[in-house]
Amino acid sequence: MPHIYIVTDCEFDGPIPGTHSMLSFASVAVSETGQMLGEFEAVLQPLEGAGRDPVTTAFWQAHPQAFAAATENPEPAAEVMARFTAWVKAFRAEPIFAAHPVTLDAPWLDHYLKRFTGRPLFEGPWIADRLFRHPPLCIMSLVAGATGRSPWECDIAHYPREWLGNVPHTHRAIDDARGYANLLHFFLTRREPGGGYRPLLS
C-alpha cells in the first residue's frame, strides 16, 4: 500500500488545546513522490467553555483578513473531525501526519481527534485500524537534516520562495498548508535513490 503525507496547518485562538479553540485547519495530501493528491479545509465552532488568549487575540487583530478566513461559517467540530477522518481514509494509503513544526500543529489535531472521535492522532502498531499508520513527520526537522541548517534557520522567513512553491504565507490555513506541502514536495523530489539529498545552491 502506498504512503501519503497529510501536511496540515492549524489556526487557533490560544496556545493550549482545550483551554482555547482551534479556529480552522487545512491539510494537503502529498504522495511519496511529491504529487499533490487532494485538499481539506474547515472552520470550526469554538469549544464550549474555552476562552481566548489575549496575546493570540492581538495577533489576529493585526491580521484581520486571515482571522476572517479562520472564523467565517464555522461548523460543529464533531462533524468536521468525522469528515476529516473519512477524507484521510478515502485515499486507501498509509497516511503520515506532517506539519511545520509538528510540535505546534499535532497537539491540536490530537486533542480534537480524541475529543470528537475517541481516538488520538497516533496509536501504537498493535491497533489495526489506526488513522495514521506511522509516526508524524516534522517538516522543519526534515529541512534541517537535508540542508544542514540550524533549527532556528528553518523558518518561513529564511526559506527561498521557490521552496514554498511561491505560495504566500498568509496565516490562512489552506494557504500555509499548501506552502508547507510544496516545501515537502521540494525535498521529496530532491531525494537520491540511495538516500540523502542533492546539494542545494541556497
Rounded to whole angstroms, what are the CA distances from 80 to 3, 56, 73, 134?
23, 23, 12, 23
* Sheet hosting strand 22-31, strand order edge to edge: 36-43, 22-31, 3-12, 94-99, 137-138
Neighbouring residues of 31: CB distance < 8 A, sequence distance ≥ 6: 2, 3, 4, 5, 37
Q: What is the pLDDT along the chain (202 residues), one digit of tens a residue?
A: 789 999 999 999 999 999 999 999 999 999 988 899 999 999 999 999 999 999 999 999 999 999 999 999 999 999 999 999 999 999 989 999 999 999 999 999 999 999 999 999 999 989 989 999 899 999 999 999 999 999 899 999 999 999 999 999 999 999 999 999 999 999 988 766 555 555 554 4
Burial class of residue 1 (count of CB atoms within 10 Å of its CB; 0-12, 13-18, 19+):
exposed
